[in-house]
Structure 1
């Protein structure tokens, strides 16, 4: 079963890396053909990528309480939703400070989660585990911070919410330098350990963050890198996935961790439409912003739930 699981982890890593490379190239091409100010193709790619990523967090209740009684499960879901609603209110009420909190939280969650994925893969193939702090800081900061201080982020933020345009208070150069220093140190540490494939991951994330428009960079990373790798990790915790592993079917194991989360995709878009109606805003202008707010808000309870899973993976 371990060999089958290793095949899945390797395939997911290769696929996520390939998608990042393709998205970077497409971004360069579309920017040349349609212009850097053209937002139509960016919104299409971002919406598709976000839709791919949404289901990965919908199984938190099954992972946290796999054999819980209905009442306990219901209480967990109510608390989970309450935390997300509180986060939505905070982001919509205090746009800038809520946004800054999300940026810091997301960078932490993404970096540690990606390092945990590599740690689990190392355990499967018998490699020495990667020290989390050789990889996590750069893996978390690059896809979150760089797109948001990119000069092209102004148009994107104006599209989703103009109040966020100056969220960094003008410290763009300082943020870029800090991320560059952290990334360089991580790359040197990885190269010194001969972790060349991990260093390639960091370079791919840097390329996406630097060359893709901000909306595309974040959405593609979230849906096609973070979500896919997290889903691969969930297969170790779900009975249907474990059964598929025993039959030597890694594809079925992955599907078993995706299909139960698909209703969350429909639920998210329905909730966004309802939220837009209550906010009395034009849906066509605010749909992406409210979708992002909902995803960011759901990340708060999701990060709390997965913290234990991440710690266990990093300590193996």
Structure 2
């Protein structure tokens, strides 16, 4: 993985290369149970859900590859929402929190993507221009960068105020860490570390919670972790092999910047069905919270990691 990263970022330091490789490698497994989640949502066999998942990802790749700036811009916005919602879920926001506060926390949680986008820098700017000159000009403008930084800063202040009032000190430290990483660390390194050390592991922890809630195979936290890791292993290995093959081909026949751009498009395409599955999982979790809050038995959400 580090060798591939070194080809992609020839001007990066050895430390940056290792951190980017580590972050991406740690982040890949968190989507490896999507096909099982989708199978339960749609009440179909796992193989059917897997084929549909792959077809949607392939269609997304085609649109992103040939569709120009608009689908790429929409996907960047969708990714910000997806990553931010992931942080909102792990913050365990109390039931009844206002939409304004939730929106602020969404943008706060997505700071490790918003702030690097606003900062730009060597490697990222060239890659974005390869993806789309229009987007490169948009994100390279001073106005856009100021707006992105202002959105995150205001959101972080709103979130921090609420967290202080509720004495959520660990979450407040988390918000500060996101801000520091997004503001100080090299942009691509910042996102890779957040993706691998924040977003991915926390999503896996949520899958473990679903495994425990399902209760068909796991009655303890240790059993749930073991079951989740074992069931995610095949898809994780497949994702590693696919990404390595795609990036390896581009590295061999194209420029390093083109390879980075290709890898980003592949990851964005895979994120498309992943966002849909996660949204279904979160919706089911919200229904369970509502049912618990009003003292009713939980409805059958049909969302679990059952195979």
TM-score by length of 1: 0.72
Distance 1:48 1:286, change over 3 A: farther
Instruction: Check whether the contact 2:86–2:203 (CA below 8 A) recurs between aligned residues.
Output: yes
1:256 aligns with 2:256: no
Q: Which of 141, 158, 170 is equivalent to 2:126?
A: 158
Corresponding residue for residue 48 of structure 1: 22
Q: Which of 267, 271, 294 is equivalent to 1:295?
A: 267
Instruction: Check whether the contact 2:181–2:190 (CA below 8 A) recurs between aligned residues.
Output: yes
Corresponding residue for residue 152 of structure 2: 179
Quote the Cα distance in structure 2 between the aligned partners of 1:109 and 1:193: 25
Q: What does 1:223-234 align with in structure 2 at a 5 Å threshold?
A: 223-234=196-207
Corresponding residue for residue 184 of structure 2: 211
Q: Which runs of 5+ in 2 are unaligned?
A: 1-10, 290-307
Q: Which of 101, 118, 131 is equivalent to 2:91?
A: 118
Instruction: Check whether the contact 1:241–1:252 (CA below 8 A) recurs between aligned residues.
Output: no
TM-score by length of 2: 0.74
Quote the Cα distance in structure 1 between the aligned partners of 2:75 and 2:13: 24
Corresponding residue for residue 146 of structure 1: 115
How much does 1:129 deviate? Answer: 4.7
How much does 1:252 deviate? Answer: 4.8
Distance 1:190 1:133, change over 3 A: farther
Measured against aligned partners, the alpha-carbon deviations of 1:21-55 in whole angstroms (never above 9, x if no partner) come to xxxxxxxxxxxxxxxx6344323211221111111
How much does 1:134 deviate? Answer: 5.4
Quote the Cα distance in structure 1 between the aligned partners of 2:106 and 2:285: 13
Distance 1:305 1:244, change over 3 A: closer
Q: Which runs of 5+ in 1 are unaligned?
A: 1-36, 123-127
1:282 aligns with 2:250: no
Quote the Cα distance in structure 2 between the aligned partners of 1:80 and 1:213: 33
Q: What does 1:19-38 align with in structure 2 at a 5 Å threshold?
A: 38=12
Q: CA RMSD in A?
A: 3.2
Quote the Cα distance in structure 2 between the aligned partners of 1:312 and 1:72: 20
How much does 1:273 deviate? Answer: 4.8
Quote the Cα distance in structure 1 between the aligned partners of 2:166 and 2:210: 30
Equivalent pairs counted in the alignment come to 268
Quote the Cα distance in structure 2 between the aligned partners of 1:160 and 1:259: 37
Distance 1:294 1:240, change over 3 A: farther
Distance 1:265 1:308, change over 3 A: closer
How much does 1:190 deviate? Answer: 2.2
Quote the Cα distance in structure 1 between the aligned partners of 2:255 and 2:212: 40
